[in-house]
């Protein structure tokens, strides 16, 4: 590990998330303020291996804080799971004088960052994913924007569901985590929320609930279904057949990953990006930044990856109570 950082690299990896640009901007401006050089690595680890490396200055991050996506592009790079390519990545960093690296992404991206740290490139992870599924942190860049985007879309679907007196099964993102589903379920007043963390596949309970709400005269029945459970179309068909209530499925999909970041996402992304540079300047490496119990903190990547988190049980209880009309 080098003692004094001179050049910081920054990349975004895995699924994009609104606010990644704000984080890139913060890394660049904080580094420049400290007299360091900054290099942007395009397309995550794939771009690193292809040496897609550009010089960045204060102007190269002008007018991006409000933009969704990532100006550095992002990619998934399976090769990077192998030592041979990790070593090549570290060599390329050294060749370009990159002695400190900020990786903005999720758990998978942090594993790559950890490998680079062990190969002598001081590396800090910044949590960026709409799924909120990074255990060490209460907040991940992009979650707030994504839930607001989904919430607005679900409100619209609710209007048409009510007009037609239908059941709507709405699938939100979350490969293995139900945070988006739970938050939208509460915010949209959904009648049912299916979470990978809690749903046991018992459709009877859901079907009976739909029959009950129909009987008491509810004009719609909104089911928020997390992507991790999936099968929204077949579930809607079954609901229609078994309950007699017309049903439609909508998969919100990638629209949840786009759009201008909310204030919350911009602020946290900016502070985390700046902090990543500060940690590198303090000689730290192999760490990931988190927002925990109202404070910005950092953890060793190994420790962060070993942590587990679950959805908030009280939030889940309240969500169920609120849907009982
Ligand atoms: P996320 O970072 O959002 O969790 P992925 O799981 O898709 O997204 O991981 C993003 C990228 O991180 C992968 O395409 C790969 O390049 C890198 N990565 C994932 N797992 C590892 C690993 N075990 N070792 C090294 N790199 C990894
Ligand atoms: O960013 C996380 C996520 O949105 C997951 O919820 C989803 O399963 C996945 O990315 C889909 O990513 P892609 O379509 O880019 O493979």
What does the DSSP assignment read for 52-116?
-EEEE-GGGGTT-TT--S-TT-----GGGGSHHHHHHHHHHHHHTT--EEEEEE-HHHHHHHHHH
Tell me the CA–centroid distance for residue 321 and ligand 2, in Å.
30
Q: What is the pLDDT of residue 129?
A: 98
CB 252 within 8 A of CB 208: no
Q: What is the pLDDT of residue 325?
A: 61
Q: Residue 131 catalytic?
A: yes
Q: How far is CA 215 from the centre of its chain?
A: 39
Q: What is the pLDDT of residue 323?
A: 79
For residue 267, being part of any structural domain is answered with: yes
What are the tokens at 187? 């915010």
Both 273 and 293 in a single domain? yes
Q: Helix (H, G, I), strand (E, B), or coil: what is residue 143?
A: helix
Q: From residue 263, give the alpha-carbon distance in Å to each of 105, 123, 270.
A: 19, 27, 11
Both 240 and 103 in a single domain? no
Nearest ligand atom owner, CA of 228: 2
For residue 320, being part of any structural domain is answered with: no
Both 169 and 237 in a single domain? yes
Going by alpha carbons, the residue nearest to atom 8 of ligand 1 is: 14
Last residue of a domain, one of 197, 223, 256: 256
CB 261 within 8 A of CB 250: no
Q: CB neighbours of 320 closer than 8 A, spacing ≥ 6?
A: 193
Q: Is the CB of 273 under 6 A from ligand 2?
A: no
Q: Is the CB of 171 under 6 A from ligand 2?
A: no
Residue 131 Cα: closest atom of ligand 1: 3
Q: What is the pLDDT of residue 4?
A: 87
Going by alpha carbons, the residue nearest to atom 26 of ligand 1 is: 112
Q: What is the pLDDT of residue 247?
A: 97
Alpha carbons 145 and 268: distance in angstroms, whole number: 12
- Strand residue runs (E) in 173-281: 192-194, 221-226, 247-251
Nearest ligand atom owner, CA of 75: 1
Element (H, E) at 155: helix 143-164
For residue 249, being part of any structural domain is answered with: yes
Give the residue carrying structure tokens 């400290």. 34
Both 149 and 138 in a single domain? no
Q: CB neighbours of 289 closer than 8 A, spacing ≥ 6?
A: 124, 125, 126, 127, 137, 272, 275, 276, 279, 296, 297, 298
Tell me the CA–centroid distance for residue 260 and ligand 2, in Å.
18
Mutation probe of ligand 2 site: the residue of 131, 146, 251 with most atoms within 8 A of C-beta: 131
Both 120 and 183 in a single domain? no
Both 128 and 151 in a single domain? no
Both 128 and 165 in a single domain? no
CB 48 within 8 A of CB 95: no
Q: Helix (H, G, I), strand (E, B), or coil: what is residue 251?
A: strand
Q: What is the pLDDT of residue 233?
A: 97
Residue 174 Cα: closest atom of ligand 2: 6
Both 152 and 250 in a single domain? yes
For residue 318, being part of any structural domain is answered with: no
Domain of 179: which CATH number?
Answer: 3.40.50.460
The number of CA neighbours under 13 Å toward the Cβ of 206 is 25
Residue 142 Cα: closest atom of ligand 2: 1
For residue 157, being part of any structural domain is answered with: yes
CB 170 within 8 A of CB 250: yes
Overall number of domains in the chain:
2
Last residue of a domain, one of 214, 235, 256: 256
Q: What is the pLDDT of residue 217?
A: 87
Q: Helix (H, G, I), strand (E, B), or coil: what is residue 118?
A: helix
Both 154 and 252 in a single domain? yes
Tell me the CA–centroid distance for residue 14 and ligand 1, in Å.
7
Alpha carbons 118 and 184: distance in angstroms, whole number: 40
For residue 153, being part of any structural domain is answered with: yes
Both 128 and 176 in a single domain? no
Both 13 and 47 in a single domain? yes
Going by alpha carbons, the residue nearest to atom 11 of ligand 1 is: 109
- Going edge to edge, which strands form the sheet with 221-226? 192-194, 221-226, 167-172, 247-251
Longest dimension (CA), the chain: 70
For residue 248, being part of any structural domain is answered with: yes
Alpha carbons 172 and 179: distance in angstroms, whole number: 10
Domain of 84: which CATH number?
Answer: 3.40.50.450
For residue 322, being part of any structural domain is answered with: no
Q: Is the CB of 45 under 6 A from ligand 1?
A: yes
Residue 45 Cα: closest atom of ligand 1: 16
Q: Is the CB of 130 under 6 A from ligand 2?
A: yes
Alpha carbons 109 and 317: distance in angstroms, whole number: 33
Both 133 and 161 in a single domain? no
Query: Which residue range is the domain that position 212 belongs to?
Result: 145-256
Instruction: Walk along the chain (325 residues) and give the pLDDT tens digit of each residue.
Output: 446 899 999 999 999 999 999 999 999 999 999 999 999 999 999 999 999 999 999 999 999 999 999 999 999 999 999 999 999 999 999 999 999 999 999 999 999 999 999 999 999 999 999 999 999 999 999 999 999 999 999 999 999 999 999 999 999 999 889 999 999 999 999 999 999 999 998 999 999 999 999 899 888 999 999 999 999 999 999 999 999 999 999 999 999 999 999 999 999 999 999 999 999 999 999 999 999 999 999 999 999 999 999 999 999 999 999 877 6
The predicted model scores a pTM of 0.96
Q: Which of 131, 192, 265, 286 is catalytic?
A: 131
Residue 228 Cα: closest atom of ligand 2: 8
Nearest ligand atom owner, CA of 83: 1
């Amino acid at each position: 590990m080098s003692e004094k950082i001179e050049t910081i690299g920054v990349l975004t990896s895995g699924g994009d998330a609104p606010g990644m640009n704000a984080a890139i901007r913060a890394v660049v401006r904080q580094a420049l303020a400290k007299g360091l050089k900054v290099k942007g690595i395009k397309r995550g680890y794939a771009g690193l291996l292809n040496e897609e490396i550009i010089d960045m200055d204060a102007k190269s991050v002008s007018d991006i804080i409000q933009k969704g996506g990532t100006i550095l592009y992002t990619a998934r790079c399976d090769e990077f799971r192998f030592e041979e390519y990790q070593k090549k990545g570290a060599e390329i960093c050294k060749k370009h004088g990159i002695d400190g690296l900020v990786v903005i992404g999720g758990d998978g991206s942090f594993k790559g960052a950890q490998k680079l740290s062990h190969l002598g490139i001081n590396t800090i992870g910044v949590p960026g994913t709409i799924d909120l599924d990074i255990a060490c942190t209460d907040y991940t860049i992009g979650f707030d924007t994504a839930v607001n985007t989904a919430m607005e879309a679900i409100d619209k679907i609710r209007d048409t569901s009510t007009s037609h007196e239908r059941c709507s099964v709405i699938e939100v993102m979350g490969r293995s985590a139900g945070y988006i589903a739970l938050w939208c379920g509460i915010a949209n007043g959904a009648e049912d929320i299916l979470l990978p963390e809690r749903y046991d596949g018992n459709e009877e309970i859901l079907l009976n609930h739909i029959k009950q709400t129909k009987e008491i005269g509810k004009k719609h029945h909104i089911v928020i279904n997390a992507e991790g459970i999936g099968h929204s179309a077949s579930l809607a068909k079954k609901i229609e057949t078994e309950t007699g209530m017309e049903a439609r499925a909508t998969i919100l999909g990638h629209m949840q990953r786009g759009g201008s970041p909310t204030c919350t996402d911009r602020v946290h992304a900016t502070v985390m990006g700046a902090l990543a540079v500060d940690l590198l300047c303090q000689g730290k490496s192999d760490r990931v930044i988190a927002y925990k119990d109202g404070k910005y903190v950092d953890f060793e990547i190994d420790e962060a990856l070993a942590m587990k988190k679950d959805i908030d049980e009280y939030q889940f209880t309240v969500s169920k109570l609120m849907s009982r009309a």
